[in-house]
Amino acid sequence: MPERASASGGLSSLQHSSGGRNGTSFHGCLRNLYINGKLQDLGWLGHGVEAGCQPCQRGACVQGDCHPTGHRGFTCTCHPGWTGTVCDQQVNNPCDGNKCIHGTCLPINSYSYSCRCQPGFAGVLCDEQDQDAADPCGPSRCKHGKCRVSGLGKAYCECDGGYTGDAVACRGERVRDVYQRQQGYAACQTQEKVSRLECQGSCAGGADGQGTCCTPLRSKRRKYTFQCTDGSSFVQEVEKVVKCGCTKCSS
């Protein structure tokens, strides 16, 4: 009479007979093993046989090396570029293909980065000449006095008699924020923050005696998607300042 072995690890039956062995290919664990209707005692194990499942079965760590930690536990050491408990998540490096022109990319998280600029460069992408670094005492830095440079490389004004204060030349202060629009009763804003310049500072008087003001000299337009509080969205061009300078004040 043939013998029958029941298994819970994926093999329904394993038949033995005098003519040989027939069965299904099996990888896994055998539990509650019955032969001829009798539960087998696995307390006695042959040489080289261990009780329980092999935790590091083939493919346990998708992209890494498996290390058993006990009867059923294991840990994974992931290959470079992979992470996760079983090394099944690819690491996303935001600095791959970054656009820091004259600087070093610094990851903020898995999806964004910032740029640390080289000396003499500024801007979100380090793509602009830093005029203050190149010439701290630029033109019109001190309207009524002399410009001096501190030991830290910072400009300050040594004022003429009768004057005080610390005049600062016209410059663009970089900000990064969303643009907002009103669409009927809904408030809308850009889905991403927009980098732009805000023109700040003072300018010396013009040669013709007319006053000069710190104003935008150049701007560019780009399309952005706006998301609204009523669930709608639309695409619209946004004008942002990219260069500031001193021009005749508008009346």
Q: What is the pLDDT along the chain (251 residues), one digit of tens a residue?
A: 444 444 443 333 444 444 445 555 555 666 677 788 887 766 665 555 555 567 787 778 888 898 888 766 788 999 887 888 888 887 777 787 767 888 888 887 766 778 888 887 877 788 777 665 556 676 556 666 777 777 666 777 777 766 666 555 677 777 888 888 888 888 898 888 888 888 877 776 544 445 678 888 888 888 999 998 888 899 999 888 888 888 888 76
The answer to whether the beta carbons of residues 35 and 16 sit under 8 Å apart is: no
Is 139 within the bounds of a domain?
no
Q: Per the domain annotation, does 84 fall within a domain?
A: yes
CATH label of the domain that carries residue 224: 2.10.90.10
Is 126 contained in some domain?
no
Q: For residues 222 and 185, state if they share a domain.
A: yes
Whether the predicted model's global pTM rises above the 0.85 cut: no
The Cα 165–Cα 132 span in angstroms is: 19
| Shared-domain flag, residues 14 and 71 | no
Question: CA–CA separation, 193 vs 195, rounded Å?
Answer: 7
Boundaries of domain holding 83: 57-91
The answer to whether 202 and 169 are in contact (CB under 8 A) is yes
Question: What is d(CA 104, CA 113) in angstroms, rounded to the nearest whole number?
Answer: 10
